[in-house]
């Protein structure tokens, strides 16, 4: 019975990783195609559908960690998934005024290259038990450049969206109401920006430690 569930786990994770790989391949394709043909102003509209699919499906990775399907700690997965969802749905999808900015292109290129490498790496590991050494190196090295470009784009887009958030009052709850509770999405966005200050260096340091561990292990093998 344990062997059967192990097989089911591998089949599910293989399908999951390669499905998300295809999703991010589509994002990168539409971004590059649109940049070449019509400019950065149209990048979001071209890549929106695969972006929403691929990034929203990543919520399952929190579940994977919670139930023990993967060894990745939820404490590392949760903030990354939440920040991505916030940018995808809470900023870009919610405020079309930010969709035409050039930072959308740098954001989606950084995200898609990172995820294409990551999902193919885990897809190989689940399907065949190992991944090529060159893919291992890419998995634990490309973030050195792509994490700073991605984070910078995320922070920049939240900042750019602030005036539109304030004017629109989307997702705000004003008093009086039956819950006796108020919420201002504008100030929540400012808090989110503040979280990036300690959060980004912490995550980068964590990934550096993971890189050292993974590459050292590969050399011993």
The half-sphere exposure of 52 on its side-chain side, counting CA atoms within 13 A, is: 11
Q: How many CB atoms lie within 10 A of CB 53?
A: 17
Decide if 147 is catalytic.
Answer: yes
Radius of gyration of the chain from Cα atoms?
19
Decide if 48 is catalytic.
Answer: no
Options 147, 171, 185, 196, the catalytic residue = 147
Closest to 83 in 3D by CA, of 47, 101, 64, 110: 110
Closest to 136 in 3D by CA, of 73, 219, 55: 219
Options 61, 115, 126, 154, the catalytic residue = 154
As given in the structure block, the two tokens for residue 87 are: 């940018």
How far apart are alpha carbons 85 and 52 in whole angstroms?
Answer: 9
Q: Tell me the catalytic residues.
A: 147, 154
């Amino acid at each position: 019975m344990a062997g059967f569930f192990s097989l089911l786990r591998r089949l599910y994770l293989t399908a999951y990783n390669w499905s998300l790989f295809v999703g991010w391949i589509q994002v990168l394709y539409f971004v590059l195609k649109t940049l070449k043909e019509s400019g950065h102003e149209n990048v979001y509209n071209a890549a929106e559908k695969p972006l929403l699919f691929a990034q929203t499906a990543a919520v399952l990775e929190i579940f994977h960690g919670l139930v023990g399907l993967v060894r990745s700690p939820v404490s590392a997965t949760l903030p990354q998934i939440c920040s991505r969802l916030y940018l995808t749905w809470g900023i870009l999808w919610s405020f079309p005024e930010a969709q035409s900015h050039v930072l959308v292109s740098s954001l989606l290129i950084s995200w898609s290259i990172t995820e294409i490498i990551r999902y193919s790496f885990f897809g190989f590991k689940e399907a065949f038990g190992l991944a090529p050494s060159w893919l291992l190196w890419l998995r634990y090295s490309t973030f050195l450049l792509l994490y700073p470009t991605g984070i910078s784009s995320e922070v920049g887009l939240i900042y750019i969206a602030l005036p539109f958030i304030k004017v629109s009052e989307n997702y705000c709850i004003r008093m009086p109401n039956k819950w006796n509770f108020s919420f201002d999405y504008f100030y929540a966005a400012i808090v989110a920006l503040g979280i990036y200050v300690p959060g980004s260096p912490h995550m980068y340091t964590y990934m550096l430690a993971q890189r050292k561990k993974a590459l050292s292990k590969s050399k011993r093998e």
